[in-house]
């Protein structure tokens, strides 16, 4: 078993070939990019150090939540003839599930959530033009 190639760089497999590298997402068996989560955790400035398992765990949790939401949104489409999931389907599936509604209660999906009971001070009204003084 050779441990390095002629230049002394890299780890060699049995046959003298270099081992194919695996990403952390592949090692963990998830699809979400672990390295991007790691970079964003480090750059957020919330802490000085980030452990090796933190971005893997975060990616796995977010992947599970996304899969759960998409599965419920797909079930909303089962009764209809449609094949495309719309933001309204996502919102309906979140609001119908008790745990997801509690988790994402304060969130709104782009173009999916209708704002209800908006304070009148926040809404914009067109001002009426004053009649000319000469009339």
pTM over 0.75: no
Across the 135 residues of the chain, what is the mean pLDDT of every consecutive 10-residue run?
Answer: 55 74 89 94 91 94 94 88 88 91 84 60 66 62
Half-sphere exposure of 22 (CA within 13 A, CB side): 9
The dihedral sign for the CA sequence 42, 45, 46, 49: positive
Domain assignment present for 5: no
Note down the domain range covering 58: 24-103
Q: Is residue 29 part of a domain?
A: yes
Task: Let me know if residue 73 belongs to a domain.
Answer: yes
- Exposed/middle/buried for 89, CB within 10 Å: 0-12, 13-18, 19+? buried
Residue 55, H or E segment: helix 54-77
Number of domains in the chain: 1
């Amino acid at each position: 078993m050779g441990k390095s190639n002629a230049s002394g760089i890299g780890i060699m497999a049995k046959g003298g070939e270099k081992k194919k590298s695996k990403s952390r997402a592949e090692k963990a068996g998830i699809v979400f990019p672990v390295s991007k989560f790691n970079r964003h955790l480090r750059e957020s400035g919330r802490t000085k150090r980030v452990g090796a398992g933190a971005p893997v765990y975060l990616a796995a949790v977010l992947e599970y939540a996304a899969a759960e939401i998409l599965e419920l949104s797909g079930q909303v489409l089962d009764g209809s003839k449609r094949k495309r999931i719309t933001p309204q389907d996502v919102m309906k599936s979140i609001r119908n599930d008790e745990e997801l509604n509690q988790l994402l209660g304060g969130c709104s999906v782009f173009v999916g959530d209708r704002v209800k009971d908006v304070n009148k001070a926040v809404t914009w009204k067109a001002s009426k033009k004053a009649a000319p003084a000469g009339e």
